[in-house]
Amino acid sequence: MKNMIFAAVTAAFMAVPALAQQDQGFGPLIAAEELAEVKDSVEPLILDIRMGEVDGKPAYEAGHIEGAVFAPYRMFRGPDENPGQLPSNEELTQNFRLWGVEQDRPTVIVHQGNDETDFGGAARVYWTLKSAGVSEIAIINGGMNAWVKAGLPTTTEAYTEFPSDITVEISDQWLATQEEILAIVEGQDTGLLLDSRPEAFWTGDAAHAAAARPGTLPQSQYFTHSRWFSDDPSLIDVAAVTRLVEENGYTGQDQLVSFCNTGHWAATNWFVLSELGGVENVKLYPESMVGWSNAGLPMDNVPGPLKNLWKQVTSIF
């Protein structure tokens, strides 16, 4: 049965652009219309991660793709004081089994598709699934909004999968730890630290509410996550990926670590660079600046007393 599924996947995606396929049979991006064409033959697991509302109702209840399982994004995240923290292997195992996640079953991630920030949730879920050993994953480019815009059918009937027997052990292949980043900062290792946040966060003019202080990782560069998107802020501009990767010199690095405030925006940079851009050895720092700043570790672009006073004065006016 599994061989038949993979054969169907390969045949169905022959028409997908080469960049989007990255020599895989499935994903990493899939158009809503393409998913509709192969959904019945491929029988992917569809995870609907949406947590917002549509027409005053919880998004999943308001309408979802037939066969989609509700797997809320918050279950892939940490507590309020450290939202980027990765759940334990035990927690992920419990949830993945409940949702029917299997390592060898094609899996599709559905986010709402409102804007660039919304995509970060889908990218973080993709990273978690891949790190857990799921081999065939795709994100709907444009999310649920693209599915609805294409006139494709939805249902309000809740769906559950047969539980799986997966045991999750997160790989360190795409994971950057606090200790590994500190080694780069202190010169014991090499790598590019890439801040995915808007420039104001990198310069220390803005900060996440849970961060101990504004600023960024020492020696870091920034590439705002939103730059990968087309004029439609819900759609990745696949055609521009190679050009942006080359222009910014992201190939040939010993390692590249993507970070932000809580590993959300950073997941977009990780996804595009690793899965679409073909950049090797890209890692995600899940806890990002909230975790780093609260650990009291060294930072750059931390505002001094005079800058803080000026910000307080100007905020009054």
For residue 8, what is the domain's CATH number? Answer: 3.40.250.10
Strand partners, 283: 257
pLDDT for the residue numbered 25: 55
Q: Model's pTM, two decimal places?
A: 0.89
Counting the structural domains of the chain, the total is 2
42 with 106: CB under 8 angstroms? Answer: yes
List the domain range (segments joined by +) for residue 230. 178-304
Same domain, 138 and 195: no
Same domain, 195 and 282: yes
**Residue 139 three-state SS:** strand
Q: Supply the DSSP symbol for 192.
A: E
Confirm whether 119 is domain-assigned.
yes
* Rounded CA separation 244/237 (Å): 11
Confirm whether 56 is domain-assigned.
yes
Examine the fold and report which residue of 149, 164, 198 is the final residue of a domain before the chain moves on.
149
* Rounded CA separation 224/194 (Å): 9
Residue among 139, 135, 161, 147 at smallest CA distance from 54: 147
Same domain, 135 and 201: no
**Residue 235 three-state SS:** coil
Same domain, 96 and 55: yes
| Tokens 């509410």, residue located | 209
pLDDT for the residue numbered 252: 87
Same domain, 140 and 30: yes
Same domain, 190 and 137: no
pLDDT for the residue numbered 304: 79
Same domain, 19 and 142: yes
Same domain, 9 and 126: yes
70 with 58: CB under 8 angstroms? Answer: no
Same domain, 17 and 75: yes
| Paired tokens of 147 | 């599915």
Same domain, 64 and 142: yes
pLDDT for the residue numbered 19: 39
Examine the fold and report which residue of 132, 149, 166 is the final residue of a domain before the chain moves on.
149
Q: What is the pLDDT along the chain (317 residues), one digit of tens a residue?
A: 334 333 443 333 333 333 334 444 578 999 999 999 999 999 999 999 999 999 999 999 999 999 999 999 999 999 999 999 999 999 999 999 999 999 999 999 999 999 999 999 999 999 999 999 999 999 999 999 999 999 999 999 999 999 999 999 999 999 999 999 999 999 999 999 999 999 999 999 999 999 999 999 999 999 999 999 999 999 999 999 999 999 999 998 999 999 999 999 999 999 999 999 999 999 999 999 999 999 999 999 999 765 554 444 444 44
Strand partners, 140: 30
Same domain, 127 and 10: yes
45 with 108: CB under 8 angstroms? Answer: yes
pLDDT for the residue numbered 27: 87
Same domain, 29 and 84: yes
Pairing of strands 57-58, 107-110: unpaired
